[in-house]
Copies of this chain bind each other. A is one copy, B any other.
């Protein structure tokens, strides 16, 4: 009973991963609109109902892909931050890495930020990988800065806005590097910022 059921559980976990990986691959090569339960089932060589024995529905599969994406993004940002030549440039490095990630993996980025998923963030159980991404931004600021979380939130918002608005052409697609420079200059360390405006 034990060895056999363990093997089955192992196989089941592997198939779980296969489904997520296949969904992601399909999305990255043909776009999310091509990711249907039928096509996905065919690709993993199982019937549709098998998908539903692993996930509550399609949204849950997208959410699983998004979670993988957050983990990857966290690593990507962390490496960029630690590779920065000096701490003063870590913010720029992390921001640059973020925009890189978004433009190089648009489908994955959509799963993480645009598509409707069942992921809940605000509540207590914020997925750790998402928190890790956020913390990479926070770490770029002086630990003594009591507004570093606020800075991180606004920086992230700006980067996300730049990503989606330029991608859809609502702002010109060119000039990303210039925007990045501008953003980092304005949001660099508080010491370089404008006069303190209280509270």
Residues of A whose CB lies within 8 Å of any CB of B are 113-114, 120-123, 130, 134, 147, 150-151, 153-154, 156-162, 164-165, 168-173, 175, 178-179, 181-183, 185-188, 192-195, 197
Contacts and interface: CB of A to CB of B under 8 A. Distances in A.
30 contacts: A113-B170, A114-B114, A121-B169, A122-B172, A122-B173, A150-B179, A153-B175, A154-B158, A154-B179, A154-B182, A156-B161, A156-B165, A156-B171, A157-B157, A157-B158, A157-B171, A157-B179, A159-B161, A160-B160, A160-B161, A160-B164, A160-B165, A161-B162, A164-B164, A185-B194, A186-B186, A186-B187, A186-B193, A192-B194, A194-B194
Contacts of A170: 113, 121-122, 130
A123 B169 contact: yes
Nearest to A184: B197
A175 B156 contact: no
Contacts of A164: 113, 160, 164
B169 A120 contact: yes
Contacts of A182: 147, 150-151, 154
Contacts of A113: 164-165, 168, 170
Nearest to A193: B194
A188 B186 CA distance: 10
Given A170-B121, A179-B150, A197-B185, A165 B158 contact: no
A55 to B, nearest CB: 20
Contact of A195 (B172, B178, B187, B192): B192
A175 B151 CA distance: 12
B153 A121 contact: no
Contacts of A194: 185-186, 188, 192-194
Nearest to A174: B122
